[in-house]
Structures are given as structure tokens and as C-alpha cells.
Structure 1
Amino acid sequence: MKTFAPKPADLTHDWYIVDASDMVLGRLASQVADLLRGKNKPTFAPHADSGNYVVVINAAKIALTGDKTDKVLYTHSGRPGGLRRDSYGELLKNNPERIIYTAVKGMLPKNRLSRTQLTRLRVFAGEEHPHTPQKPVPFEVGRISQQAK
């Protein structure tokens, strides 16, 4: 028996839509990271770009457990004095897309392939998104936590 190695002609990029309302951030981000890498496909190979497009809606309704509303997300612009501190509570009101994007980015491997796969992530704060012509398939994330309803 030979080992299966996917060829570029074998790779397809499907579209999925995930509803983030009342989902715990970490559990949602791990499922989205698996979809972006293509780990749900039988033809998955770590070196091949078999990932999917993922549209996350209702990012403003994400559930943060514990004291994460006080947790601070740091970014640096690269310029002197360019350190930026934003608490998750502020980001949940002003820019909830950044919370999910950063969580998913942290769960992907740190290489060129993951940077390509991260470009397939689309996050929206509300219900509306411009990707209806692609006909994304709804992906149901299992609610494992007791705190999410």
C-alpha cells in the first residue's frame, strides 16, 4: 500500500459558514482552525493547501469565559512607541472580528502555509455577509461547555 499524497488537482476549497453566537471563544477558534487547514477532509496532508474558506458571523455575540473581558490583547505597529493595548471588553464592543481572528491565528502553525490559509478566514460582527453567491454550507460547532447556552 502506498502513502497518499494529494496533488494540486485533488485539492478543493469548500465554503463553510459558522455562527458564533453564544459560542466559547477557544472552542470555536479550534474548530475554525481545523476547517481552515482542511483537517475535516480525508485527503488532508500537513504540507498541502487543502483548506477551506470559513465565514464566521455574529462575532459580537461570542462568549468569553472567566475574566477574559479584562484580558489585554497586545499588538505592535513596528514603530517606536507603537505598542497598542486593547482589552477584550473594549474589543467586543468596537472590533469583535479581531478577537476571533487573533484566536484562530494562534491555533494555526506558524509557517507560510498557515498564513495563506488564514487569508481564507472571513469574520463579520453581524448576520450579514457578502459571500452568499459562494453558497457556504453551515457548519455546526458542538457546544461542549456548560457555560454556553
Structure 2
Amino acid sequence: MEEIVIDGSNTILGRLASHVAKLLLEGNKVVILNSEKIAVSGDPSKLIQFYKDTVLNVKTHYSHKWRPKRARSPSRLVKKTVAGMLPKNNKKGEDALKRLKVYVGIPKEYKNKQPIKLQFTVDKLGGKFTTLQVIAENMGWKVGAVE
């Protein structure tokens, strides 16, 4: 099993997630750095509203204190996106997801490693986009300053 370190800066979320899912199913360990700089294509105001509606709004008959807690950090949003592209309800998908690590910024143990820069960048997008950091902060992510 090979460990592949990927830099997520200015990379499109969906294309990155599908590429990472394929690498995980092949048996590789994948580490994604700078998850807060990953881009999501579309109108920023509509994207923020979409994430707030789909991720945060959970209707329940119980008190709001007991409702499910949802991911707000960019690293958890990326991990959930990749998980959606892996097989569900079987061991292969579970094992693949365990081989994925996603970080906000660059941790000390990966400072010396040279990460791979994927070709799915914002430069080829040509339209509107926003980063996961902006979306996460609008959803209530508390950590604003990233190294």
C-alpha cells in the first residue's frame, strides 16, 4: 500500500473526491492537505444556502438538543464527499474510508513531503466558485485562522 499525499489547494471538490475514491478502492492510503482551500464550483451565495439547508437543517420531533450533529469543518465535509463516492454497506467501502486522512492546513509530519498537485484546478473552471473555508465559516465553523 502506497501513501499518496495530495495538496487540495484550488482543486475542485467533486473531481478531487472521485479521484481519491478511485485511489482508495485500489488499496492506497490517501492524505489530503489544505482542505480549507478546496474549491466548490457555483454561485457562492447559492452554495452557502445549499450547504446550510442540506447539512444543518434536520427536522426532528424531539428537542433540538438531541438532533444529529453535523460536520462543519472543511476536513469533515471533504471526507463525507469522498464517502458518498465509495460503496456503501460493505467491507470494501468501509476499509477504503479508513485509509483516508484529511487535514486543514499542513501538519508537521507532512511538511517535508512533496504533495501531488492534481490537474483539476480552478483555473480550468472559468466560472464562479468558493472555497470550503468560506462555506464552513458560514455554517458555524469556529476555527477561522489557518496556518
Which of 7, 17, 21 aligns to 2:5? It is 17
- Distance of aligned partners of 1:85 and 1:55 in 2 relative to their CA distance in 1, 3 Å threshold: closer
Task: State the alpha-carbon separation in 1 of the partners of residues 114 and 23 from structure 2.
Answer: 12
Cα contact 2:4–2:29 (8 A) shared by 1: yes
Q: Which has the higher helix share?
A: 2
Query: Unaligned 5+ residue runs, structure 2?
Result: 130-147
SS in structure 2 at match of 1:114 = helix
With normalisation by structure 2, the TM-score equals 0.64
Deviation at 1:131, TM superposition (A): 5.3
Letter in 2 for 1:145: L
- Distance of aligned partners of 1:75 and 1:115 in 2 relative to their CA distance in 1, 3 Å threshold: farther
- Distance of aligned partners of 1:18 and 1:119 in 2 relative to their CA distance in 1, 3 Å threshold: same
Cα contact 1:16–1:137 (8 A) shared by 2: no
Q: Which position in structure 2 is the counterpart of 1:122?
A: 101
Give CA deviations for 1:62-87 in whole Å, capped at 9, x if unaligned: 112223222232598xxx6423456x
Task: State the alpha-carbon separation in 2 of the partners of residues 73 and 106 from structure 1.
Answer: 14
- Distance of aligned partners of 1:131 and 1:123 in 2 relative to their CA distance in 1, 3 Å threshold: same
Supply the RMSD in Å over aligned alpha carbons.
Answer: 2.7
Q: Which position in structure 1 is the counterpart of 2:37?
A: 61
SS in structure 1 at match of 2:76 = helix
Q: Which position in structure 2 is the counterpart of 1:106?
A: 84
Q: Which position in structure 1 is the counterpart of 2:116?
A: 139
- Distance of aligned partners of 1:22 and 1:29 in 2 relative to their CA distance in 1, 3 Å threshold: same
SS in structure 1 at match of 2:117 = coil
Letter in 2 for 1:83: P
* Aligned residues with identical type, % of pairs: 33
Q: Number of residues paired by the alignment?
A: 112
Cα contact 1:16–1:54 (8 A) shared by 2: yes
Deviation at 1:106, TM superposition (A): 0.2
Deviation at 1:24, TM superposition (A): 1.3
Task: State the alpha-carbon separation in 2 of the partners of residues 105 and 136 from structure 1.
Answer: 25
Query: Unaligned 5+ residue runs, structure 1?
Result: 1-12, 39-50
SS in structure 2 at match of 1:109 = coil
Give CA deviations for 1:11-57 in whole Å, capped at 9, x if unaligned: xx10101111111111110111111111xxxxxxxxxxxx1000100
Q: Which position in structure 1 is the counterpart of 2:20?
A: 32
